[in-house]
Each structure stands twice: as structure tokens, then as C-alpha cells.
Amino acid sequence: MLSGLNNRASLGRMDATTHTRGMIAMTEPQIWTMIGAFAALMFGMMTMVSTVFIRVLRAELGGLRAEMNSRFEIVGHRIDGLDRDVQALVKRNFGLDRE
């Protein structure tokens, strides 16, 4: 127990080079440079992800728009066919010509 206290006391007196064992000691400007590089990397990555997301979203919406337009055209042709059929029925049953 007493030897454990002596070890703790000796740890408090160690300088930074003996305490880091294999780790590189960095100065404050180096740390700020690392923080800046990491922040720039994260900002660039968020920019790339958002740009790709917007491009994919626009492509998907463009495809949806084209499909909806083609389906509306089909419905329009069907309505034109129904209108022609109703005009033929009215003409045959009532003898009227609707224009």
C-alpha cells in the first residue's frame, strides 16, 4: 500500500515527455492547425454530400415529372375517346348534333 502511494507521487513529478510514451508531443499552433484542417475537411465533406443529394433529388423529381406528364397524356386521350363516344350516343339517341 505504501509503495502505491510512492508510485502515485512519482507520477505527479514526471514531465510531459516521459508520460506520453510513444505519442508525439504537439505544440499549441500545431493543435490549432489540426483543428482547422479537421474543420475544413468536415465542411468540404458536408458540401459534397449536400451537392450529391441535391443532384439525386433533382434527377428523381425530373423522372417523376416525365412519368406524370406521360400518364396525364394517356388520361387526356382516354377522356377524348369518352367524349367522342358520348357525342355519338347523344347523336344516335336524340338526333342532336352537339358542338
Whether 38 is in a domain gets the answer yes
Query: What's the pLDDT band for 94 if we cut at 50, 70, 90?
Result: confident
CA 41 – CA 64 distance, rounded (Å): 35
Mean pLDDT, rounded, for 33-55: 97
Range of the domain at 51: 25-94
Asked if residue 53 belongs to a domain, the reply is yes
CA 88 to chain centroid: 54
pLDDT tier at 36, thresholds 50, 70, 90: very high
- Record the pTM: 0.48
Mean pLDDT of 73-94: 88
Task: Count the domains in the chain.
Answer: 1
User: Is 8's pLDDT higher than 90?
Assistant: no
Q: What angle (nearest 5°) sits at the alpha carbon of residue 57, between those of residues 51 and 58? A: 90
- 13 lies in some domain: no
